[in-house]
Structure 1
Amino acid sequence: MIKIDHLTKQIPGGPTVLSDISFVAHKGEFVSIVGASGSGKSMLLKCLALREKWTTGKYTVEGVDVLANFFTGQSKIRREFAFLEEKPILSPSRTALKNVLVGTKYQTPAWRMLTGMVRNDDYMGAMDTLEKLGLLDKAKQKAEQLSGGERQRVAIARALVHGAKVLLADEPISGLDPHTSEQILRDLKALCQQGLTVVAVIHQSELAEKFSDRIIGLNQGRLVLDVRGRRLTTAEKLQL
């Protein structure tokens, strides 16, 4: 369980971009974050990933007070949380398989990033994960040859192979066609049913309604909606 209590994020010398945010995300839950541009959606994800410092608040993950136990908490976030960029950062000259195996600077020791070396017994798990995401036939293709949707699925596979229990996805379907967008959200939903927790910024509220277990709405850095298991009403959409 992930519990956020009274998260506030102020830019040093600047505005408050998140104000008094509290919510709980349970294991296997698909949580969508919706709101207008500039409402603080991406900043919220970065705070959950500890890529941005919290000004105030309490952050508990599976009973661990992350901010009060900095080294233990940071290690836990580093091991168990994966941040999926809007445009995944892959090595263009490496194959999809090698991108999955090597990981990112947040997941992988520096020596492995530089050399690309992996253990032989890692390959089968990576291939199984690529197959699960419909990318087995793309395993040997270089990342630069993949479509936007395929690159997103490679990034998801990479997170899973490196042990992610929580996926923080920042607009994972941005710029993709409707069919590909739905396929990626369908994949994420299926992974949630296997125990992965997904917290995703979704720009299209209709897709958030279709695939989410829960919708969190932000407006100017404040939480204005926390809706579970149903579509948003017209009045609720007007709050965003």
Structure 2
Amino acid sequence: MLTVNQMQKTIGSDPKKVLDGWNVHIHEGDMIGVVGPSGSGKSTLLRCLALRDSWTNGNFTLGGDVIIDGGGKGKRKFRSQFAYLEQNPELYPQKSALKNVLIGQAGQTDQFRRMIGMVRSDDYMGAMDELEKFGLLDKAHVKAAHLSGGEKQRVAICRALVHGANFIAVDEPVIGLDKFSAEKVLSTLRDLCKEQKKTVIAVLPLEYAEKYCTRLWGIYEGRLQWDVSGRRLTAEEKQFL
């Protein structure tokens, strides 16, 4: 279980609180939908939880392990367990889906080895296994530039898994996708939580969050307004959106 205690994020020389007073427990297998108005801090929340942005204050623990103590970006040894996927995943457009999965976020030496094609057989098989699970086996040797938006999202998910992620933060993964592609991406994420006990936190439109997520967080002006599980939002809760 991940525990967040008094997470705070401020920016600027005249500090503005972007996130303030977050106290939550995050369980294995949770699929959390984050909803809130534009500018409420959704993307910053994901980046902080995925150890991409520094915390101004607060504590972050995984079981008995301390990841962040009093602020900062988190201990380096934990970072491979946390993935952050942007709206438009950054892939190498002239490399195949398979090579994008293999290159991923490896260490500098391993990354160079993979970029020039020196790949261990177990790396290769692991990447192919993930692509197959997400219906991308026929796209393994297709250049990323020729993949659809939904396919790029799934390649990015495969890349995160191959490189050890157990926690995946996804920022608006369905923006710009048709309904079929959006549902495919969200089904993939939901299956990760159900079958592999991964933890997924995604910024989503409310209708998708209510349909696919086991838990909903409402964020307003940097604060957690509500945290609900197993039901749709009430009219009172929706007033913050």
TM-score tier by shorter-chain length is: over 0.9
Does residue 1:222 correspond to 2:220, yes or no? Answer: no
1:201 corresponds to which residue?
203
* SS state at 1:66 partner: strand
How far apart are the structure 1 equivalents of 2:170 and 2:37? 17
1:64 corresponds to which residue?
65
Shift of 1:195: 1.0
2:2 corresponds to which residue?
2
Shift of 1:114: 3.4
Shift of 1:118: 2.2
Q: 1:1-240, aligned counterparts within 5 Å?
A: 1-13=1-13, 14-68=15-69, 73-103=74-104, 107-115=105-113, 116=115, 117-193=118-194, 194-202=196-204, 204-240=205-241
* SS state at 1:17 partner: strand
Shift of 1:69: 9.5
CA spacing shift, 1:64–1:12, aligned 2, 3 Å: farther
Shift of 1:67: 1.7
How far apart are the structure 2 equivalents of 1:69 and 1:79? 21
CA spacing shift, 1:231–1:238, aligned 2, 3 Å: same
* SS state at 1:43 partner: helix
The CA deviation string for residues 178-211 of structure 1, in whole angstroms up to 9 with x for no partner, is 1111111111101101211101111x10110011
How far apart are the structure 2 equivalents of 1:205 and 1:24? 22
How far apart are the structure 1 equivalents of 2:62 and 2:76? 12
How far apart are the structure 2 equivalents of 1:161 and 1:126? 6
Provide the identity percentage.
51
**Number of aligned positions between the proteins:** 236
How far apart are the structure 2 equivalents of 1:53 and 1:143? 31
Misfit runs of 4+, over 4 Å: none
When normalised by structure 1's length, the TM-score is 0.93
When normalised by structure 2's length, the TM-score is 0.93
AA of the residue aligned to 1:109: G
AA of the residue aligned to 2:7: L
How far apart are the structure 1 equivalents of 2:212 and 2:87? 18
**Structure 1 range deviating more: 51-60 or 109-118:** 109-118
2:19 touches 2:45 (CA, 8 Å); kept in 1?
yes
CA spacing shift, 1:70–1:215, aligned 2, 3 Å: closer
How far apart are the structure 2 equivalents of 1:236 and 1:27? 26
* SS state at 1:53 partner: coil
Query: Which ranges of structure 2 fall in alignment gaps of 5 or more residues?
Result: none
* SS state at 2:68 partner: coil
How far apart are the structure 2 equivalents of 1:67 and 1:125? 31
Shift of 1:70: 9.1
2:37 touches 2:240 (CA, 8 Å); kept in 1?
no
**Structure 1 range deviating more: 42-51 or 149-158:** 42-51
1:112 touches 1:118 (CA, 8 Å); kept in 2?
no
AA of the residue aligned to 1:200: A
How far apart are the structure 2 equivalents of 1:168 and 1:63? 22
Shift of 1:113: 2.9
How far apart are the structure 2 equivalents of 1:89 and 1:32? 22
* SS state at 2:165 partner: coil
